[in-house]
Structure 1
Amino acid sequence: MALFSGTIQTLESSLNYASAKNRAISNNIANVDTPGFKAKNVEFRNVLNDEMTASLESKRTHEKHLPFNHLNTDQPFRTVSRQHTSYNHNGNNVDIDKEMAELAKNQIYYQALADRISGKFNSLKTAVGGGR
């Protein structure tokens, strides 16, 4: 039996995503003056398509066809570098204004998730305590 119909697991995954995004943004800000540094971004992959593709049985009719079983659905996000841009003369592509705005947005998102999961645990606490 899954408590709250899997809501806590979804919130946990979302908190992990927000934490990874915060680490990437903080690293970008810390390296704003590092020559040649390429900013990193955390992308949220299409989890539904990955799940559907991973669960489908398929037959490869040619060895050059892509296999379906190579997808990692345990981690619905990934960190990628922005390689093909350069904002500074030293090859660095960190836009400090964009990073600060993304950091503020991500902090609000994380706090909303933390509040929601706290509410779920308080509901569980109330139910265990007999409604008190």
Structure 2
Amino acid sequence: MNVQYQSVTSLLEKALDNTSVRQKVIGQNIANIDTPNYKAKQVTFQNELNSALEANKTDSKHISFSNESEKEPRITIDHSTSLQNNGNNVDIDKEMSELAENQIDYQALVTAVSQKFQQYKMVLGGGK
């Protein structure tokens, strides 16, 4: 199997997993908006992935996919702020914005996966 196929497919899979984790975390934050002392969580997969990709570039125009499978979404908790009198720090505007962004990311990734498999289907079908 082609190394590029494995890398691109693996990267898309990890990115889709990330959107799933982000969706759950954002949903938890929204569900706990009125829970006393609840601290907002966020997923930092994208930062981890960008760091890995930058570290593996041999040229500014090259992208290396060698370590993307080692990166997992990481959930962090923001203990530094308190937006409400009850100690809760969930910002509903921020959460709704992140939810919309995550949905757009998910749709773009699903489109990319679909196009990738259409390419393979065309190749395997002899271009028909």
TM-score, normalisation: structure 2: 0.78
Q: Which runs of 5+ in 2 are unaligned?
A: 57-68
- Once residues 48 and 8 of structure 1 are traced to their aligned partners in structure 2, the CA distance between those partners, rounded to angstroms, is 16
Q: Which residue of 2 aligns with 1:59?
A: none
User: Does the alignment pair 1:101 with 2:97?
Assistant: yes
Q: Deviations over 1:76-128 (max 9, x none)?
A: 43100011100011000000011001100110011101100110011111111
- Once residues 35 and 18 of structure 1 are traced to their aligned partners in structure 2, the CA distance between those partners, rounded to angstroms, is 27
User: Does the alignment pair 1:47 with 2:52?
Assistant: yes
Q: Which residue of 1 aligns with 2:16?
A: 15
Higher Cα Rg, which structure? 1
TM-score, normalisation: structure 1: 0.76
Aligned length: 112
Give every structure 1 segment of 4 or more consecutive aligned residues whose post-TM-superposition deviation is greater than 4 Å: 48-51
Greater mean alpha carbon deviation, residues 4-13 or residues 97-106? 4-13
Q: Which amino acid letter does the alignment assign opposite residue 121 of structure 1?
A: F
- Once residues 116 and 19 of structure 1 are traced to their aligned partners in structure 2, the CA distance between those partners, rounded to angstroms, is 16
Q: Which residue of 1 aligns with 2:30?
A: 29
User: Does the alignment pair 1:119 with 2:121?
Assistant: no
Report the aligned-residue RMSD: 2.0
Q: Which amino acid letter does the alignment assign opposite residue 30 of structure 2?
A: I
| 8 Å Cα contact 1:38/1:92 also seen in 2 | yes
Partner of 1:36: helix, strand, or coil?
coil
- Once residues 40 and 126 of structure 1 are traced to their aligned partners in structure 2, the CA distance between those partners, rounded to angstroms, is 42
- Once residues 5 and 115 of structure 1 are traced to their aligned partners in structure 2, the CA distance between those partners, rounded to angstroms, is 18
